[in-house]
Structure 1
Amino acid sequence: MSENCNKSCESCSADCSVRNKKHDFHENPHELSNIKKVIGIVSGKGGVGKSLVTSMLAVTMNRLGYHTAILDADITGPSIPKAFGIKEKAKGNALGLNPVKTKTGIDIMSVNLLLNNDTDPVVWRGPIISGVVKQFWTDVIWKDVDFMFIDMPPGTGDVPLTVFQSIAVDGIIVVTSPQELVSMIVTKAVKMAEMMNIPIIGLVENMSYFKCTDCGKEHKIYGDSHIDEIASEHNLKVLAKLPIDPKISAACDKGIIELFEGDWFDSVAKILEEIMDTDKK
């Protein structure tokens, strides 16, 4: 660094050590938190059921005896509290903010747990939204969490970047739908994860098919699936294919997602358990 440096790199063309220094944006969780594994749930576009997958994964691992938590990073479109039927608000003290527990003991933190009314819009600019997501990590006391699932907003913008840079994410699961156009969108999400050196656990396809209750035949409402092609292209695993099931939608609407029935995530649970066991060895 030159003795005449004014510390304004934007207006300087010098190739110095300060200019080339890589910034570490990593944030430590609250000093009272204990979080073993963090799994990000991402999608390249909206409307593919990312929050649903997040909720069902948390419920699945909770049923297996793990203490699970959900950090709802979708600040402008939070839906996690609704799916779990949470009515109470998050409370805190001088030490920090406490997540709200669901009926079966899953810890939840979402902006809707802080607003006076669930329907109040969050009209904030990107930097403020990203700051709130970081505070959910640094200011919330997450006690003895085995698996934290982060429900991220769609796309590759401010919040996913903030999460990947600030939080020690152990892996991500990409949620998609059957349409062919999704191939390009998924590729964007995968490439972002690769750029940020975040391991990709695999892909989950939602709305993959509808199984008729009368004849038992599977109907592909949104056309033929392309998830196997996408997975092969990126050397990834297809973790699950979820059906269009009115019972699941009803469970979310009624706030009873913890009562869903189905074994779609059994294989994903085994992979997550392997990730947990690997670090124990």
Structure 2
Amino acid sequence: MSSAAPSNANDGCVGPTSQEAGKAAACAGCPNQGACSTGSFSSPAAVAAKEKEKANLHNALSEVSHVVLVLSGKGGVGKSTVSTQVAQSLSSRGYSVGLLDVTFVDRVSQEWQGARREVHQSQSGWTPVYANPNLAVMSISFLLEEGDAAVVWRGPRKNGLIKQFLTETDWGVGGLDYLIIDTPPGTSDEHISIVQYLNDARSSGQGASGAIVVTTPEEVSLADVRKELNFCKKTSVPVLGVIENMSGLQTRVSDMRFMNDESNDCTSDVLSLLKEKCPEVLNMMAITDVFPSAGTGPEGMANKFGVPYLGKLPLDPNLLKSCEDGVSFVDQYPSSPGTAPLNNIVDKLILALPVEDDEEDAMQT
């Protein structure tokens, strides 16, 4: 199938810009046959417009070293949390990072920016909001007049805004080491548009460097993520790895609350008793599985699909608090249960997608 083929095209599609569009054997029965047969996609004006779009994408991404998509088959698995904290962690290590939110439904970063209206347009394009000197954020939520407003748009308008985000955001002098794109759940039209836009740019040496796929351990999530992995395979997006989020609740006993049989809070009494009788327990970690793992879990699924398994992120209250406060979780809570796993995930991402300085350092050593 041609890379320019519509997502619902038949196998063997020659692409809408081909001179055989709508006429080839593979076109028989295709829902797009009528539109392709008109020749409107292969007209000189259409071809020129497409080439201009590709040039704009290339120019906009020419100073971005790596573009990373964060995907999930199912909503509510913590994809936006992973996106924001991976971006925060990379920026705290000194990398120049952009976080682009095209979810249309999540309010990623809105609360922790505290300055939605700082986004404005200039001759150089949209100026993103800076969470810190190394982290620039652009989100649909920054453009809404009301923070709680719903984005009730049809596909073409959403796709148009995605293209604007990709081509018109001014990420600053020197570009970016990493552009993290937080996408909607599922494999919607927005995903197809993002991949196609980046594939257009890839012909000039830029495009999606890969995807991080986020899931929770239970089967209802894994079933959707398997579709996401197949989507990546069909669209030729490299999978950088699978993250098992919310793999279990981990918290110190001293941070827990306790209730008696009458559902009355007895935390103070229990902690006092533990402090008196066995104080060492207070510093122990209490762990429980909130979501039952299905079969071999996310790691087994990753092995089956032949993609890397990046590790587990536990349910950590400090992780959510860091997102809401707009701070780097690994810096703010270095001893929290989720800090080491998140650092390991970021280590693996940097190893898979080193920036130029990293590559030069590796050659020197």
Distance in 2 (CA, whole Å) between partners of 1:112 and 1:61 is: 23
> Which amino acid counterpart does residue 222 of structure 1 have in structure 2?
F
**1:156 corresponds to which of 171, 187, 190:** 187
Could you tell me whether the CA contact under 8 Å between 1:43 and 1:189 is conserved in 2?
Answer: yes
How far did residue 86 of structure 1 move? 4.1
> Which amino acid counterpart does residue 100 of structure 1 have in structure 2?
V
- Does residue 178 of the first structure (1) align with residue 217 of the second (2)? yes
In the other structure, the counterpart of 2:79 is 50
> Which amino acid counterpart does residue 89 of structure 1 have in structure 2?
E
Evaluate the alpha carbon distance shift between residue 175 and residue 124 of structure 1 in structure 2; reply closer, same or farther with a 3 A threshold: same
- Does residue 100 of the first structure (1) align with residue 124 of the second (2)? no
> Which amino acid counterpart does residue 199 of structure 1 have in structure 2?
P
* SS of residue paired to 2:132: coil
**Cα RMSD (Å) of the superposition?**
3.1
> Which amino acid counterpart does residue 251 of structure 1 have in structure 2?
S
Could you tell me whether the CA contact under 8 Å between 2:99 and 2:179 is conserved in 1?
Answer: yes
In the other structure, the counterpart of 1:228 is 299
Distance in 2 (CA, whole Å) between partners of 1:244 and 1:11 is: 49
Could you tell me whether the CA contact under 8 Å between 2:116 and 2:143 is conserved in 1?
Answer: no
Could you tell me whether the CA contact under 8 Å between 1:81 and 1:108 is conserved in 2?
Answer: no
143-152 vs 180-189, which moves further? 180-189
**2:250 corresponds to which of 192, 202, 211:** 211
* SS of residue paired to 1:264: helix
* SS of residue paired to 2:118: coil
| TM-score, with structure 2 as normaliser | 0.67
Could you tell me whether the CA contact under 8 Å between 2:84 and 2:108 is conserved in 1?
Answer: no
In the other structure, the counterpart of 2:164 is 135
154-163 vs 257-266, which moves further? 257-266
Distance in 1 (CA, whole Å) between partners of 2:60 and 2:87 is: 24
In the other structure, the counterpart of 1:266 is 343
Could you tell me whether the CA contact under 8 Å between 1:42 and 1:153 is conserved in 2?
Answer: yes
Could you tell me whether the CA contact under 8 Å between 2:84 and 2:323 is conserved in 1?
Answer: no
Q: Any unmatched runs of 5+ in structure 1? A: none
Distance in 1 (CA, whole Å) between partners of 2:285 and 2:180 is: 33
Distance in 2 (CA, whole Å) between partners of 1:75 and 1:136 is: 13
Distance in 2 (CA, whole Å) between partners of 1:278 and 1:116 is: 37
Distance in 1 (CA, whole Å) between partners of 2:245 and 2:163 is: 28
| TM-score, with structure 1 as normaliser | 0.86
Evaluate the alpha carbon distance shift between residue 219 and residue 129 of structure 1 in structure 2; reply closer, same or farther with a 3 A threshold: same
Evaluate the alpha carbon distance shift between residue 240 and residue 12 of structure 1 in structure 2; reply closer, same or farther with a 3 A threshold: closer
Evaluate the alpha carbon distance shift between residue 140 and residue 30 of structure 1 in structure 2; reply closer, same or farther with a 3 A threshold: farther
Evaluate the alpha carbon distance shift between residue 11 and residue 129 of structure 1 in structure 2; reply closer, same or farther with a 3 A threshold: closer
Q: Any unmatched runs of 5+ in structure 2? A: 1-18, 24-31, 199-206, 254-283, 334-338, 361-365
1:26-65 aligned at under 5 Å gives the runs 26=54, 28-29=57-58, 31=60, 34-65=63-94
How far did residue 278 of structure 1 move? 7.8
* SS of residue paired to 2:181: strand
> Which amino acid counterpart does residue 346 of structure 2 have in structure 1?
A
How far did residue 267 of structure 1 move? 2.8
Evaluate the alpha carbon distance shift between residue 32 and residue 13 of structure 1 in structure 2; reply closer, same or farther with a 3 A threshold: closer
Identity value in percent: 27
Evaluate the alpha carbon distance shift between residue 94 and residue 220 of structure 1 in structure 2; reply closer, same or farther with a 3 A threshold: same
Distance in 2 (CA, whole Å) between partners of 1:32 and 1:193 is: 21
- Does residue 253 of the first structure (1) align with residue 324 of the second (2)? yes
> Which amino acid counterpart does residue 301 of structure 2 have in structure 1?
I
Distance in 2 (CA, whole Å) between partners of 1:260 and 1:156 is: 34
- Using CA pairs under 8 Å that are at least 6 residues apart, name the structure with larger relative contact order, 1 or 2: 1
* SS of residue paired to 1:252: helix
Evaluate the alpha carbon distance shift between residue 228 and residue 116 of structure 1 in structure 2; reply closer, same or farther with a 3 A threshold: same
Distance in 1 (CA, whole Å) between partners of 2:87 and 2:249 is: 24
* SS of residue paired to 2:227: helix
After the TM superposition, which segments of 4 or more aligned residues of structure 1 sit over 6 Å from their partners?
A: 11-14, 22-25
Distance in 2 (CA, whole Å) between partners of 1:107 and 1:267 is: 23
Could you tell me whether the CA contact under 8 Å between 2:240 and 2:352 is conserved in 1?
Answer: no
> Which amino acid counterpart does residue 232 of structure 2 have in structure 1?
A
How far did residue 12 of structure 1 move? 7.7
